[in-house]
Amino acid sequence: MKKIVWLTGSRGFVGSYVSRALLNSGYEVKFLTNSPTDNNELIYADFSNRSQIKHVIERHGAPDTFIHLGWGNVYEPHHECHINENVQDGINLIDEFYNAGVKRILLIGSSSEYGDRQGLLKENHLPTGEVNNYVKGKIALAKYGLESAEKINRIFIHIRLFYTYGAGQKHNSLINQLFQNSIQGDEMSLSPCEHYRDYIHVSEAAEGISRITNVEQSGIINLGSGNVILLKDFVKLFWDELGADSEKLVFGSHDVPTLEQIQPKSYADLSILKNRTNWTPSLTIEDGIKKTVEQLRLSV
What CATH number did the domain enclosing 149 receive?
Answer: 3.40.50.720
Distance between CA atoms of residues 14 and 43, nearest Å:
19
Which is higher by pLDDT, 300 or 195?
195
Res 58 pLDDT > 70: yes
pLDDT digits (tens, 9 = 90+) for 121-142: 999 999 999 899 999 999 999 9
Cβ 148 vs Cβ 136: under 8 Å: no
Nearest to 272 by CA among 204, 208, 196, 206: 208
User: What is the domain range of residue 70?
Assistant: 4-165+199-224+268-281
How many other C-beta atoms are found inside a 10 Å radius of the C-beta of residue 22? 22
Residue 235 included in any domain = no
pLDDT digits (tens, 9 = 90+) for 149-175: 999 999 999 999 999 999 999 888 999
174, containing H or E segment: helix 174-184
pTM equals 0.96
Residue 115 included in any domain = yes
Residue 237 included in any domain = no
Contacts of 229 (CB under 8 A, 6+ apart): 196, 197, 199, 285
pLDDT confidence of 260, banded at 50, 70, 90?
A: low
Residue 254 included in any domain = no
Residue 172 included in any domain = no
Q: Would you state the pLDDT for residue 170?
A: 87
pLDDT digits (tens, 9 = 90+) for 186-245: 999 999 999 899 999 999 999 999 999 999 999 999 999 999 999 999 999 999 999 999
Residue 124 included in any domain = yes
Residue 50 included in any domain = yes
Rounded mean pLDDT of 101-105? 98
- Give the total number of structural domains in the chain: 1
pLDDT confidence of 248, banded at 50, 70, 90?
A: very high
Residue 116 included in any domain = yes
